[in-house]
Amino acid sequence: MKSLAIIIPVFNEEYSIIGNLSRIISVVQSLTELSINILLVDDGSTDATVQLIRGFISKEKNLHLLCLTRNFGKEAAIYAGLTFAKKCDAAIVMDGDLQHPPSLLPEMVRLWQQGYDVVEACKSSRGPETRAKGVMVRLYTLLFESLTRLGIKNHSDFKLLDKKVIEAYCRLPERERFFRGLINWLHFSTAQISFDVPATDKKTSSWKKWTLIKYAISSIVSFTSFPLHLVTALGGLTFLVSVVIGGIALVDKISGKAIGGFTTVILLLLFIGSVLMFSLGIIGIYIAGMYDELKHRPAFIVNEKESFLGDFRQ
Ligand code: UDP
Ligand code: MG
């Protein structure tokens, strides 16, 4: 019998995790042809999530818990789950707040059994979110796709991965990961299904605005060095502008037409100053990324005392 792991990263989900798990388990029970284990990855929850899950595990033998020592972020939690699921024949990654509908699981499994290595669930609508966030996400997607030539429009982290995809993903050496982009970059045979993102009982997303912005920047930086070339292009542009303005200033000087030019000097200083700071910022982002990777710190640390893996196939 083939084995399937369902990996669910959770962070402060005490208000609904048990109800959500019951829904997921009821769908999982219909997939009788597979040996299915659910691996919850607690990403350093500070509420009662872990206690609630531990209580539930005693009633459900196919449920397992992997606790991280602190909040490492959703990407690290997914990576931790996949690292522990390497021996399974396939794994499905899904959110714990039911915004990734469990009703899609049978269809995902069917497509995998047909031979697809990756089955990804794409959002046909984005569910309830502010207009501003919708616009930002669209702009980010446009920028990411045009710079990296990788399509991620409407993609989500709700994916089924075959064993060979899990192995390839875990072999990638980087610490900062962008799950959606990397799975696309690996380019195994992929099937897509679509879903509408349902509303959640959760009042707000657990992603803080600044974390989302940092995540967006690091995902672009980890896939393309184009912004660094932009710095060179900006250097070329300012050089051209300075040649033109310098030429005009010289001609004015020679023909005795030179005037005070105080405003021009201020404007030029501001322009060159901002181009320099912008360029330094771009270079700084790449150096920071290299510095973080160079330290070779692990992407996550497991709290073995709190975890409950039982007979989970590692
Ligand atoms: N999550 C996590 N670590 C974090 C933030 C979120 O493991 O630092 C989990 C969270 O518990 C949920 C999933 O990632 O299962 C998606 O998070 P959320 O619903 O807050 O994000 P959104 O729906 O806004 O993408
Ligand atoms: Mg959510």
pLDDT tens for each residue of 13-35: 999 999 999 999 999 999 999 99
Q: Which two tokens stand for residue 163?
A: 């064993």
CA distances 83 to 7, 80, 229, 242, 296, Å, are: 11, 5, 35, 54, 17
Q: Which residues pair with 93 in a beta bridge?
A: 7, 159
Question: Measuring from atom 3 of ligand 1, which residue has the nearest CA?
Answer: 74
Q: Looking at ligand 1, which atom is closest to the CA of residue 96? A: 15
Phi, psi of 54 (to 5 degrees): -60, -40
Architecture of domain 3-206: Alpha-Beta Complex (3.90)
Phi-psi region of 310 (alpha: psi -120 to 50; beta: other; left: phi over 0): left
| Res 9: pLDDT | 98
Question: Whole-angstrom distance between the N-terminal and C-terminal Cα of the chain?
Answer: 17
| pLDDT tens by residue, 269-293 | 898 999 999 999 999 999 999 999 9
Report the relative pairing of strands 159-162 and 63-67 from DSSP bridges.
unpaired
| Stretch (H or E) spanning 290 | helix 262-294
Atom of ligand 1 minimally distant from the CA of 95: 15
Cα–Cα distance measured from residue 85 to residue 82, given in angstroms and rounded to the nearest whole number: 5
Nearest-CA residue for atom 21 of ligand 1: 205
Read off the pLDDT band of 98 (50, 70, 90).
Answer: very high
Pocket test for ligand 1, best of 38, 95, 133 (most atoms within 8 A of CB): 95
- Cα dist. 302→18, 78, 94 in Å? 23, 13, 20
Please state, in angstroms and rounded to a whole number, the distance separating the CA atoms of residues 237 and 250.
Answer: 20
- From the alpha carbon of 12, which atom of ligand 1 is closest? 11
Q: Give me the pLDDT at residue 6, please.
A: 98
* Beta-carbon-side half-sphere exposure of residue 273 (alpha carbons within 13 Å): 6
Please tell me the distance between residue 205's alpha carbon and the centre of ligand 2 in angstroms: 6
Q: What is the pLDDT of residue 105?
A: 97
137 pLDDT higher than 80: yes
Ligand 1 pocket, CB under 6 A: 9-11, 13, 43, 71, 73-74, 77, 95-97, 99, 205-207
Mutate to test the pocket of ligand 1, among 206, 207, 219 (most ligand atoms within 8 A of CB): 206
The ligand 1 atom at the shortest distance from the C-alpha of residue 206 is: 20
Expressed in angstroms and rounded, the spacing between residue 74 Cα and the centre of ligand 1 is: 6
Minimum-distance ligand 1 atom for the alpha carbon of 204: 20
What pLDDT is recorded for position 209? 86
Q: What is the pLDDT of residue 314?
A: 58
pLDDT band at 199 (very low <50, low <70, confident <90, very high): confident
Centre of ligand 1 from the C-alpha of residue 271, in Å: 41
- Span of 65-69, 161-165, 251-255 with lowest mean pLDDT: 251-255
In this predicted structure, the answer to whether residue 258 has a pLDDT above a threshold of 80 is no
Range in 177-181, 264-268, 309-313 the model is least confident about: 309-313
Q: Is-contact 157 197, C-beta < 8 A?
A: no
Please tell me the residue having the least CA distance from ligand 1 atom 24.
205
Q: In what order do the strands lie in the sheet with 190-196?
A: 63-67, 35-42, 3-10, 90-93, 159-162, 118-125, 190-196
Look up the pTM and report it.
0.92
